Amino acid sequence: MRVIFTCGGSAGHVNPALAVAQQFEQKHPGCEILFVGAERGMEQRLVRQAGYPIETVKVSTFERSWSWKVLKHNVSSALKLPVGQHEAASILKKFKPDLVVGTGGYASYPAVHEAARRRVPCAIHESNAYPGLTTRALANKVDLVMVGFPEAAAYYKEAKRVAVTGTPVRGEFFTLDREQARLRLGLLDSQPLVVSFWGSQGAGHMSDKTVDFVERWAAEGRPFHYVHAAGRDYEDMTAELAKRGVAVTDSEVRPYIDNMPVVMAAADLVICRAGASTIGELTALGKPAILVPSPFVAANHQYKNAKVLLDRGGVELMEEKDCTGEGLYRTALELLADGARRASMGRALKGLAAPDAAQDIYKNLMKLVKK
């Protein structure tokens, strides 16, 4: 069996594809899996790190605001579409897939569109509560649309078939419990662990607020263990902390968290954005969180993701415009001091989890192949 997974732009698009790819490997030893992504997308690092081959197509984003600069950008992006489509056609002709699966991001459009044109079984998965432009554009072309949130199904009325599957989480997230993970990290005392991250691309103002958070944490004697992934803001953050006389280790503030399954399993509280992949991990592990949705994403979909969890009592939600480093720190301390509340939040999140999402998606996809 040969399967193409195509995705890009963010970990929220890539990680679900990796989770389902693992299912195919487990159930079909010897199957061939190929990823298709953008030339400079973060999928290059994530996919190769997971051990899968990846080929690229030329794609670019489309901006939804209006200005001459945006117009020029969108025209340039439109001109790349035929090029990306031709590259996708070449990849499909060479690889001869039995199935093509897109999990979102502009990079997924050419290969899925080409698969539909060639009548190769194809499907898309949308992790967010509000669907992205790419999945909406492909919805009436593919054989199956799968969604992570039940609320998202209403946006796909023209699709041939819609299945609510939840968002898959990689199997590595279920291998360790909290105590085992803490031992793996060398945390031998009783201090809780707070983990924060804003995404591999960094977060500008939120990174500035995190510097304030870290400064306050250090000034108060480091009352909890702390790990922050700064992404591309790492050098600026560490330089600013040094300027303020705050010394941090590489394990406390780092560019990336490459052992995320272990760190998340060990965490007592997570502070992060509200991307769909992260929400899938939080619900699967039942980890209480302070969510600060990115206001710079299409249709404010991260806020909608977070609101689903807030309404169930699983998270604290702060909008970026109202968020400060002091406010984050104070809220974190309040939650760490209230074990009963964190336990309640964890139960609420577990109630939203879809632990069998990867298997359900696999079963739905195999029905397409068998047809």
Other Cβ atoms closer than 10 A to 321: 7
Strand intervals (E) in 58-214: 99-102, 122-126, 144-147, 162-164, 193-197
Q: What's the pLDDT score for residue 73?
A: 45
- Please, what is the average pLDDT of the chain? 90
Q: How confident is the model at residue 59 (pLDDT cuts 50, 70, 90)?
A: confident
Q: Residue written as tokens 């990290």?
A: 185
The H helix count followed by the E strand count for the chain is 14, 13
The arithmetic mean of pLDDT across residues 94-116, rounded, is 95
Of the segments 6-10, 58-62, 284-288, which one has the largest average pLDDT value?
284-288
Q: What's the pLDDT score for residue 45?
A: 87
Helices 339-352 and 301-311: crossing angle in degrees, nearest 10, is: 120
**pLDDT above 70 for 156:** yes
Q: What's the pLDDT score for residue 83?
A: 78
More confident call, 17 vs 84: 17
**pLDDT above 70 for 350:** yes
Dihedral sign for Cα atoms in the order 89, 95, 101, 104: negative
User: Coil, strand or helix: which one is 77?
Assistant: helix
Q: How confident is the model at residue 171 (pLDDT cuts 50, 70, 90)?
A: confident
DSSP state of 104: S
Q: What's the pLDDT score for residue 363?
A: 97
Q: How confident is the model at residue 200 (pLDDT cuts 50, 70, 90)?
A: low
Question: What is the layout of strands, in order, in the sheet containing 289-291?
Answer: 253-254, 225-229, 193-197, 269-272, 289-291, 315-317
Question: Which is nearest to 167 in space by CA: 355, 368, 10, 363?
Answer: 355
Q: What's the pLDDT score for residue 41?
A: 78
Token pair of 245 as six digits: 């006389």
Overall pTM > 0.85: no
For residues 258-278, b (16+ Cβ closer than 10 Å) or e, as one string? eebbbbbbbbbbbbbbbbbbb
Q: What's the pLDDT score for residue 339?
A: 97
pLDDT tens, residue by residue, 126-140: 998 888 888 999 999
Phi-psi region of 104 (alpha: psi -120 to 50; beta: other; left: phi over 0): left
